Amino acid sequence: MEPLPITQQMFTLEDVLDDKWTVLAKTIVNEPSDTEESDAKVKEYKDQLKEKFPDADTEEILADSNNIKFLRSTNWNVAEAVEMFLTSVQQYKDFLSFITAGSPSQLERVWTKNIVSINSRRDQWGRRVILFRLGKWNPDDFPVQELYTAIFSLLQMISLEAVTQVAGTVFVADLQGFGFKHLKSLGVGELKCLGSVLSGGFPMWFRKLHFVNNPRLFNMLYSILKGFLGPRIRDNVLFHGYNVSGLLDYLPAEVLPEDLGGHSGEEDGKLSIDILKKNEALVLSIMEQFKNLSKH
């Protein structure tokens, strides 16, 4: 695959691939080129999940848009897609407070701190770039549950984009300002939840996880987090220390803020949050479906 031009691609939540990405999907996520084969895989996936939840109304949650993102997130392996779906449902049992702490419009004290955002430009491989500035979070301002819910809501939104389902995402965790107050606020439950999302409990490919400005103190936290990371992400974690320029070996300057060696303005990151708020009803509907299914 040749690198793609870096252009602004707004969050339209388009669920259909264009001709270029239809071709790329065959290589990147093993998407069947034959309609009969893809239909057969979708049917097998739906039938298996209906057997898992015989007493639940699964028609809406097993709509084509949901089926496709789980299948693409597992390279169209039906067994793995079913397992990923079941893990996603389990998260609503195990980590409900971390992913349902408020609607996007109720999380304003998270958004105003510019802790998490997604660039409107994709990287050279078509991936969405998620910027997470943990050090900007003051645990005294709001609980970790709201922070996690904010991140989870943004992920839910971009998981609806067909191109993102194929290309995946890149996570850039800027740890400037990380200190003991953060270390004390992130316990085993919080890290287990994060590990589950990154390791196959959420229908998305996290292609790379970059840690930058990471102090020695963070090593204590990561030593615990690593135990909850599966091979999908564990082998794709990169530590840059304070070598900010090292990010440019992997990501174009257009998708990084100025303090991380790029030239993307802060206002760009706010676009993803604005679009999330506009699509709040849709995102909440999906989350509610999984919450209801987790009761069965």
pLDDT tens string 214-263? 999 999 999 999 999 999 899 999 999 999 999 999 999 999 999 999 99
Mean pLDDT of 138-147: 96
Please tell me whether residue 2 adopts helix, strand or coil conformation: coil
Confidence of residue 273 (pLDDT cuts 50, 70, 90): very high
| pLDDT for 103 | 96
Is residue 131's pLDDT more than 80? Answer: yes
Per-residue pLDDT tens over the stretch 69-79: 999 999 999 99
Tell me the average pLDDT across 130-137. Answer: 96
20 compared with 63, residue with greater pLDDT: 20
* Nearest CA among 284, 288, 90, 98 for reference residue 194: 98
| pLDDT confidence of residue 14 | 82
For the chain, the domains span 16-296
The pairing of strands 128-133 and 206-212 is: unpaired
pLDDT higher than 80, residue 65: no
Task: Quote the pTM value.
Answer: 0.95
Instruction: Compute the distance between CA of residue 96 and CA of residue 87 in angstroms, rounded to an integer.
Output: 13
Encode pLDDT of 93-128 as tens digits: 999 999 999 999 999 999 999 999 999 999 999 999
pLDDT at 216: 92
The dihedral through the CA atoms of 86, 92, 93, 95 has a sign that is positive
Please identify which residue in the block is written with the tokens 């895989």. Answer: 41
64: pLDDT confidence band, cut at 50, 70 and 90? confident
Distance CA 56, CA 114 (A): 39
pLDDT of residue 190: 95
Average pLDDT, the chain: 93
Residue range 170-207, pLDDT digits in tens: 999 999 999 999 999 999 999 999 999 999 899 999 99
Q: How confident is the model at residue 13 (pLDDT cuts 50, 70, 90)?
A: confident
Superfamily classification of domain 16-296: CRAL-TRIO lipid binding domain (3.40.525.10)
For range 20-40, the mean pLDDT: 95
* Angle of CA points 227, 230, 232, to nearest 5°: 145
Mean pLDDT of 29-55: 94
For residue 261, give the nearest of 249, 270, 253 by alpha carbon.
253
The reported pLDDT for the residue numbered 60 is 87
Distance CA 206, CA 84 (A): 14
